[in-house]
Amino acid sequence: MSIISDVIESTKAIIKGMGVTFSYIPKEKWTVEYPDEPVTVQPRYRGQHLLHVDEHGREKCVACFLCAAACPSDCIYIIAADDPRSPEERIGVDERYAKVYNIDYGRCIFCGFCVEACPKDAITHGYNFELSVYNRADLLKTKDDLLITKQKQSPNYRVAFADEDVDSEYKEV
């Protein structure tokens, strides 16, 4: 290949490639300027756990230890206790409840096995993914952090509807 045809071929290739690039200029953008704009997470997204309560504000967890048994990374720590008071005054829905319920987010791998295991729907995955902390010890979340009544919704994400087409959202200019 002579040097002239070489230059011509390379220039052609660059023009063709730049043609693709220029063709995207009038099109809609695909990027989301997180954290200035909220990102959309899918309904099944596995984020920070939520410990649920029933309609009277009583914890659903009965401390059956199934989540701890299902956990592949052994990050759930539970101490069970008895609450002999009347049903209206109890902390949990049942006599048995979890006095301590800790999840170590330094170990948790967000696999969802605990949610699948829970027979009382007491633990589910929330959507919060902003879990970074300045101190390793803060990764250990206790019941005070995990209960659904104590968690705050972050403005940095929103949850998609069940059959929403999430990709189309990125196309808004």
Partner 1 sequence: MSVTVPPQFEVLDRPLDTQMTISMGPQHPSTHGVLRLELVLDGEMIVKCTPDIGYLHTGMEKLFEYKKYQQGIVITDRMDYLNPLGNNLAYVMAVEKLLGLEIPERAQVIRVLMCELQRIASHLVWLGTHALDIGAMTIFFYCFREREKILNLIEAASGGRLTPSYFRIGGLMMDLPAGFERRVQQFIDGFPAALKDFQNLLTGNTIFHRRTKGIGIVSAEDAIDLGLTGPSLRGSGVAIDVRRTNPYTGYETYDFEIPTEPNGDVWSRYMVRMREMHESWKITQQALDRLKPGPVKADAPKVVLPDREAMKTHMDALIHHFLIVAEGFNVPAGEVYHPIEASKGELGVYIKSDGGPKPARVHFRGPSFVNLSALPYMVNGEMLADVVAVIGSIDIVLGEIDR
**Could you list the residues that contact partner 1 (CB under 8 A)?**
6, 9-10, 12-14, 16-17, 19-21, 30, 41-46, 65-66, 69-70, 72, 109-113, 116-117, 119, 125, 160, 162-167
- Residue nearer to partner 1 on the CB measure, 37 or 116: 116
- Residue nearer to partner 1 on the CB measure, 72 or 87: 72
Q: What residues contact residue 135 under an 8 Å CB cut-off, 6+ apart?
A: none
Q: How far is the CB of 121 from partner 1 (least distance, A)?
A: 8
State how far Cα 71 lies from the chain centre.
Answer: 17
Contact by Cβ (8 Å): 55, 106: no
- Residue nearer to partner 1 on the CB measure, 138 or 161: 161
Cα radius of gyration (the chain): 25
- Residue nearer to partner 1 on the CB measure, 13 or 149: 13
Q: How far is the CB of 139 from partner 1 (least distance, A)?
A: 18
Q: How far is the CB of 52 from partner 1 (least distance, A)?
A: 15
How many residues does the structure list for the chain?
173
- Residue nearer to partner 1 on the CB measure, 99 or 110: 110
Q: How far is the CB of 45 from partner 1 (least distance, A)?
A: 6
Nearest to 107 by CA among 49, 65, 43: 49
Strand residues in the chain grouped as ranges (E):
39-41, 49-51, 76-82, 96-104, 123-125, 140-141, 157-159
Q: How far apart are the first and last CA of the chain?
A: 46
Q: How far is the CB of 75 from partner 1 (least distance, A)?
A: 12
